Amino acid sequence: MPTVVVIDVSLSMSRPVNLPDSSSESITRRQLAVQGISSLLNHLHVNSRLEFVAVIAFSSLYDVVCPFTRDFDLVRSKLNNLEEYDKTCLKTALQGVSTLVLEEWGNSTQCQILIVTDGSVGMGPNSLSACLLQDQSSPLPFPFPSTLNVVCLANPDEPGITQSIAMYQRLIELSGAQGSVHAPDQNLSVKCVTSLFQRLAESQYTSFHGTLSCGKLSSSIVLSPTPQPFCTTGEVESRKRISQNIEICGFLDVGDIGSPMVFSRHLVLPFGKDLSNVGVNIDLNDSDDENSSQDEGRMASFCVLLHGALKVENMVALCILGESWYGIIYSWADTKKKSNIMLSIFNPGLDVIPWLGRLDCLGVLKGSEQSEGLPVKPVEKRSYAQNHVSWIRHAGLQSDIQKILRHAKKLPDKTQQFYKELNRVRKAALIFGFIDLLVRLAEILDRECHSLPGSAHPDCALQLSHSASILRSRQCLDVNFLIQPLRTKFGQGD
């Protein structure tokens, strides 16, 4: 999942820390934070190289130092060039996090948020105390699923650190996210901070290692991003995780499976020596031995076999993830030259694909050489000529009115189309109770009538004036009434 590192660059982060192993050397808390974040990036480089990382620096204002990227070297260079500013305003930083995540990922992607500070709560309307007040300007809870962790770089005996940790813990609770507050258990040092971030990385960025099997064929795999547990709410809240052994139980055509709702999607990567065979070029073992790489490329891999078969046959593999929990594995291409193997996890249950029925009842079709295909088409033919009007946004209403005006400028050739669209919009306005639209539409038609060029057909002005007068009449308020064209000596029927 994407990670947002929020680092405090206020003046309090510039306080020097006397290292215990050197009486003369000192280092600032900001420099310790940068070294700790670097150790976190090293862990991601080895274990989660597909993760996106962004950096936000904050004091009284916030600044997106580095947008979401997989280039960890770029993130390190941005961290090393940070400057100190003024006071701590955490509320501003949380608003910046929400803006950045919503613009990049929307409100449905799980995100990791890591706040690195010295435990200062700040003062004023944008302090930590202001974040804990549930007013209208509060950025909490986050509008997207998230995990919030806070790292307080402070000595255990500093005054007020216990109260600060309690306030940050309260912040996590109000955010509606999971997470905790992390603080060193001894005086600050490079080793202590590095160890703290390493423990945080191991607890929050654990890769999913499992086995993908189909009959006697199997392969060790890694799923990226790591699947999150499915939480059920009710009398007893429970968390359900997928099994480490993913078993393929059958294959379906892509047309039959369609596009069902899924819980999450993940990239399937062979783990170990088979890793060099996948579409995404990721090498967890940075080895320069070309002979070894060539030998690994010649080794048989079930994931490569499955990927090629699904891509050529245009099929998906239905797999069991746990008790009454299913998913599908399929080939997905982000470009024309490179494709990957993906896993889509459904919600737990047997009726998650309604047009297939219960997934535990699927089997081989008997008694027929050719299947009719799914989903089954209804016997009766339905007419979709009269589409329903839906004005969810102003652009939809504007589009319908512009369509009427386009037909109006082509009168009398488009007389039937003009009155058809006019009656459709008028009826929708009456159903929605949008009576003012009829008056405004009449004014628009009057304006179009007066702005007609001299070369316009005479019937055009007559039809526009007739339509505008009918829209203002009382009989137009009847839903079943239809506005008929005005019969003139210029009409096609005369």
Question: pLDDT value at position 414?
Answer: 87
CA angle 93, 98, 101 (to 5 degrees): 120
Mode of pairing for the β-strands spanning 111-117 and 62-69:
unpaired
pLDDT tens column, 75-99: 999 998 888 888 888 888 888 999 9
Is the pLDDT at 352 greater than 80, yes or no? Answer: yes
- Strand bridging mode 111-117 / 146-152: parallel
Decide if 3-204 and 208-232+239-285+295-361 have a common fold: no
Find all residues with CB under 8 Å of 365, minimum gap 6, and list them. Answer: 371
Domain boundaries, the chain: 3-204, 208-232+239-285+295-361, 394-477
**Which DSSP letter does residue 127 get?**
S
Predicted pLDDT of residue 276: 39
pLDDT in tens, 268-297: 888 764 443 343 444 444 444 445 444 555
How many CA atoms lie within 13 Å of 52's alpha carbon, on the beta-carbon side? 14
Q: How confident is the model at residue 375 (pLDDT cuts 50, 70, 90)?
A: low
Percentage above 70 pLDDT, the chain: 85
- Residue 56: band (very low, low, confident or very high) from pLDDT cuts 50, 70, 90: very high
The residue-averaged pLDDT of 428-433 equals: 88
Burial of 404 (0-12, 13-18, 19+ CB in 10 A): buried
Six-digit token string for 334? 């982000």
Least confident of 3-12, 158-167, 363-372, 448-457: 363-372
What does the pLDDT look like over 326-340, one tens digit per residue?
999 999 887 667 788
Would you state the pLDDT for residue 358?
86
What are the CA-CA distances from residue 265 to residues 107, 111, 227, 312 (Å)? Answer: 16, 15, 8, 21
Tokens 């999450």, located at residue: 264
Instruction: Please tell me which residue, 391 or 219, carries the higher pLDDT value.
Output: 219
- pLDDT, position 246: 92
153-162 per-residue burial string, b: 16 or more CB within 10 A, e: under 16: bbeeeeeebe
pLDDT in tens, 117-145: 988 887 777 777 777 776 667 778 888 88
Across the range 374-399, mean pLDDT stands at: 68
- pLDDT tens digits for range 229-270: 887 765 566 778 888 999 999 899 888 888 888 888 888 888
Residue 366 confidence (pLDDT) above 80: no
Computed over every residue of the chain, the mean pLDDT equals 82
Under CATH, which number does the domain 3-204 receive? 3.40.50.410
Give the CATH number of domain 208-232+239-285+295-361; options: 2.40.290, 1.10.3470, 2.60.40, 3.40.1350.
2.40.290
Nearest CA to 404 out of 371, 361, 435, 437 is that of 437
Query: Is residue 213 pLDDT above 70, yes or no?
Result: yes
Calculate mean pLDDT across residues 38-52: 86
